[in-house]
Amino acid sequence: MRGHAPSVGSRGRSDFLCGPCCPSPPSLQISGRFLETKVNKGKLRLRCSSGLEEGEDYLIDAPVSVGDGFSFSGGKYSEGPNPSDEWFKKGKIVKAHPVRGIGDKATDPIFGLTLGSGSQTSADVFRWFCVETGVSTNSSVILVHGLPSQAYSFRKVLPKLSEDFHAIAFDWLGFGFSDKPQPKYGFDYTLNEYVSSLDSLINELGVNDFSLVVQGYFAPVVVKYASLHQEKLKNIILINPPLMDKHAKLPSTLSIFSNFLLGEIFSQDPLRASDKVLTSCGPYMMKEEEAMVYRRPYLTSGSSGFALNAISKAMNKELKSYTEEMRTILSSESWKIQTTICWGQRDRWLDYEGVEEFCSRSNIRLVELPTAGHHAQEDLGEELGKIIRGIIGKKR
């Protein structure tokens, strides 16, 4: 089996072979460290040794002068302003949801190396990146991105909604500019934790009588939250949610990140963790300036990849039960929230079969988007913004 490691360190690239068929045990240099693999009777063994002086700390998201074994450029992204910086300037940090960790410094799950400051979370409350547009006194709509993505995916939707509404998009914990705690250091990325953390964030934002828009695999999480707080909500719009039983399994481009070792390696490659997954599920053609924003978290800190590993494992384990629960909630007589499903019919991950029948049976409005894929907000951002505005602007 041949595998390719991501570009490692601040200079150059190393490829490696692994598996029982390797002709000789390879070594992978990682910015002053060597990862040595040994194959013995089909078993893969790893040994990490350091080129640093004894007692010198090695930080995974260290400055470029030190090098970073888990990012493409040693924690340094690029010279001068870039699209990611411009996007960050449009938002703010909101503190919400208590950190329930052990108080120790987080370490990476492979070698046990201490992560740098960019990979450490707050000591008490998590930090969320939020972008708000429109007048705060207007009715609010909260936009929730999918897996793996960022609030940035709604950049073309926000201006359309801000004309009539107070619109808010945020990065989930583990994504974008929000905190990315290591599992067991305050957040384990279970779907129940995402439900409770969403509750904390919305309480901190101080909105009531609002609408929710959620895309993709986080839809079951948001629907569960909504079922517990129906009195607060006007509308909920689901964009290509995993609705049917056959949707409850992650596609291979996502499930690969849950694999032992291989998932850890691939999740540190920005091209695999952002570009490939965002463009493999529909017609979306990513421009370079857009790709730079999505790659940024993976370029600057190993914690982004480790968070992707954790949420992929949680989704593989819990998505089926959450999907079943979502269908039960949406079809229940006790469900009183006006619900719309917008479906990009060029979705390569989730099959459309059965969606129309479920919506008809459950009295859910269905809006078909023939030219959009899984990430409809990327394919039809402005048009989707107009559709959402029309839906939530209607009187009850």
The whole-number pLDDT of residue 260 equals 84
Please, what is the end-to-end C-alpha distance for the chain in angstroms? Answer: 58
Q: How many helices (H) and strands (E) does the chain have?
A: 13, 13
pLDDT on residue 80: 59
Helix H segments across 46-169? 83-89, 158-161
What is the CATH number assigned to the segment(s) 83-105+117-247+321-393?
3.40.50.1820
The full set of domain ranges for the chain reads 83-105+117-247+321-393
If one compares 371 and 102, the residue with the highest pLDDT of the two is 371
Distance CA 148, CA 116 (A): 23
Rounded average pLDDT over 386-390: 96
Q: What is the mean pLDDT of residues 247-256?
A: 92
Residues 125-143 have pLDDT tens digits of: 999 999 999 999 999 999 9
Which pLDDT band holds residue 263 (cuts at 50, 70, 90)?
confident
Q: What is the pLDDT of residues 11-70, one digit of tens each?
A: 233 333 333 343 333 333 333 333 333 444 444 443 433 333 444 433 333 333 333 333
Name the residue with higher pLDDT: 393 or 108: 393
Closest CA to 109 of 225, 189, 206: 189
pLDDT digits (tens, 9 = 90+) for 141-164: 999 999 999 999 999 999 999 999
Give dist(CA 25, CA 37) in Å, integer.
Answer: 6
What is the C-alpha to C-alpha distance for residues 380 and 284, in angstroms, rounded to an integer?
9
User: Could you read off the pLDDT of 58-79 as tens digits, one per residue?
Assistant: 333 333 333 333 333 333 445 5
**Strand ranges, E, within 13-53:** 16-17, 27-30, 33-40, 43-50
* Rounded alpha-carbon distances, angstroms, from residue 112 to 7, 105, 169, 310: 21, 11, 34, 16
CA gyration radius for the chain? 21
pLDDT of amino acid 276:
86
Whether 201 contacts 175, CB under 8 Å: no
Contact 343, 351 (CB under 8 A): no
